[in-house]
Amino acid sequence: MTSARSATPAAPRPAGGPKLPVYTGPFTAAHAERLLFRAGFGPRPGEAAQLAKLGLDAAVRSLVRPVSSALVGPAPSVDGHPLAPGDAWGHEGLWWLDRMVRSADPLTERLTLVFHDWFATSDQSVEPRLMLAQNKTIRAHATGRFPALLLAVTKNPAMLLWLNGTENDRDRPNENYARELLELFALGAGRGYREQDVRELARALSGFRNDWTDAGPTRFRFDPARHDGGVKTIFGHRGRYGWKDALRLVLAHPQHPAYFVRRLWDHFVPVAPPPRDAAALAKLYRASGGQIRPVVEAILRHPLLHEGPRMVKPPIVYLAGLLRAIERGVDTDTWSWQTELMGQRLFTPPNVAGWDASRWIDTATWRGRWLVANTALEGRTLDPDPARTAFPVSLSAAQAVDRALAVLGGPTLSAATREHLERFSTDAILKADRSWKLAPFSILRHNALLMLIATSPDLHTC
C-alpha cells in the first residue's frame, strides 16, 4: 500500500429524522477491493488486504479524508518525452489518466470524474486549455460544497462557451444554460419548474462575455451592461435577480436535495436507495449546507454498496484499475484512441447529458476493452520460446491460475470464473501431446490466462 491513511474522525450525522443504515457485515479484502473501485480506481497490489485490516469505518475515513494528495510513481511520458497537454492530441486525457493511476487521493479524482460527467463539456467545441482549467476547477471543489461548485462551473469559460453563456445578453436571451441547469445539473427534467421559469432564469443569467483574439477566446467576465436588470419571476418569486440569485433560487428549490443525492448515489451504487434512505441522505445534504463529502461518506458506508449487486466499471476506471494493478504508469499515447473505442475518452463526453452508463459494455465497445487489456499486458506476457524464457512446466491448473492472478495484482474472482479458468488451464496442457510441446504450451497458457482474467466479467465489474 503506497499511500498513507488518515485517522480523522467521521463527520457527525445530523440529529433527528431518519437514520442512514451502515454496513455491519464482514469487511474482507474482496469488500475493500469493491470499495476502492467504487470510490476510486481500484487497488494496487496488496492494498485491498491492508485496507481490509482497518475495518469499514477507518477504511472509508482514509478515502474520504486522505492525508496526502501526492502523485506516487514515475511521471507520465510518451516515447520518452513528457506529456504536452493542450498541445498534442489526446495528451490532456493522458494527463488526467496519470492522476487516476498515481494519486494518493483517488476519491477526489473519482469525484472529479463524476462531476466532469455531471457538468459535461467537450473538447469537440472547447479548446483543451480551457477544458484543463475547468478540470482543475472541478477538482478544487469536488469534495466541498455543491453550491460553490455550481457557482464556479457557471462562470467557468469552458461552460460559458459550451452552453452559450457568453451569447446570453439582455437583447438576445439564450436559454441553453438555464435549461440544462434545471434539467441536468440541479433539479431533473420536468421536476418542479415550467417553461416560463426557464426563460426567466435565462434572463437572470445574462451578462457574461469574452473577447476573441488570434489565440482564441479570452477575458471571460460578467458585464453589467449586457445583463437584463428587469424584474423576473422564478419559481413564483419576483425580483431583479442576477446570475448568483438565479443559482441561489435553484439550489433552494425543494426538488434539489433529492435530485442531488440520487444522481450522486447512482455513480456509486447500481440499484436505487430505499425511499427512507434517500430522504435521510437529502436531510444530511441540507443539514450540512450542501456539503458533498458527508453525503459520499454515507453512501460508502451503506449496506447496498457492500452487499448489493456488482456494477460495470466505467471504461476509464477499468483502464486505470488495470494500470494500478500491474503497477504500470502512463507511458504510451495508445490510451487516447483506445479509450475512445471503449466509449469514454476523457474530456469528450457525447453530449451535455454526459455518458450513458447503461451502455458501458456492448458489441461496439467490447473490442476497445479487449484492446486495452492487450496493450496493458505488453511487457507482462512472455516469449513462448523456452530458449528465451525460463518457465516452470510442472504447475497444476490451479497454480497456473494463481501465477497469472499475481501478475494482475491478485484480483478477486468468483467461484464460477475460477472454475472456468482452471478447466481451461487443464485443457491447454492436455493439448501438449509431445514432450517438447510442454514448455512452450506452459508459457502460452500463462499468457492466455492473463488475457482471460483481464477480460473476465469479474474485472469489468466491481
Q: Are residues 220 and 159 both part of a single domain?
A: yes
The tens digit of pLDDT for each residue in 336-354 reads 999 999 999 999 999 999 9
Residues 284 and 425 grouped into a single domain: no
Give me the percent of the chain exceeding a pLDDT of 70: 96
Q: Residues 301, 324: one domain?
A: no
* Residues 87 and 53 occupy one common structural domain: yes
pLDDT number for residue 433: 87
Are residue 406 and residue 321 in the same domain, yes or no? no
> Rounded to 5 degrees, what angle do the CA atoms 322, 417, 97 make?
10
Neighbours of 386 (CB within 10 A): 15
Q: Are residues 122 and 43 both part of a single domain?
A: yes
- Based on the domain organization, do 210 and 130 belong to the same domain? yes
Q: Is 80 exposed, middle or buried (0-12, 13-18, 19+ CB in 10 A)?
A: exposed
Domain span at 249: 29-307
Are residues 402 and 279 part of one domain? no
What is the total count of domains within the chain? Answer: 3
Q: Is residue 9 part of a domain?
A: no
Q: Where are the alpha helices (DSSP H) in 174-233?
A: 176-180, 195-204
Consecutive sets of 10 residues in the chain, 462 residues long: mean pLDDT of each?
40 58 98 98 98 98 96 95 95 98 98 98 95 98 98 98 97 97 97 97 98 94 97 98 98 98 98 97 98 98 98 98 98 97 97 94 95 97 94 96 98 98 96 90 97 98 98
| pLDDT for residue 67 | 93
* In a shared domain, residues 325 and 362: yes
Contacts for 271 with CB less than 8 Å, ≥ 6 apart = 304, 308, 309
Q: Residue 239, Cβ neighbours under 10 Å: how many? A: 12
Q: Rg of the chain over CA atoms, in angstroms? A: 25
CA nearest to 262, candidates 299, 307, 210:
299
Backbone angles phi, psi at 45, to 5 degrees: -55, 130
Q: What sign has the CA pseudo-torsion 229, 233, 239, 244? A: negative
Q: Are residues 173 and 221 in the same domain?
A: yes
The verdict on 293 and 336 lying in the same domain is no
Whether 244 and 335 share a structural domain: no
Is 20 a member of any domain?
no
Give the pLDDT score at 18: 65
Is residue 382 in a domain?
A: no
What is the residue type of 86? Answer: G
Mark which of 343, 376, 409 sits at the end of a domain: 376
Residues 392 and 336: their CA atoms lie apart, in Å, by 37
Asked if 382 contacts 376 with a C-beta cutoff of 8 angstroms, the reply is no
Q: How far is CA 300 from the centre of its chain?
A: 15
Which DSSP string do the residues of 59-118 spell out, in sequence order? HHHHHHS-S---B-SSPPEETTEE--TTTSTTHHHHHHHHHHHHBS-HHHHHHHHHHHHH
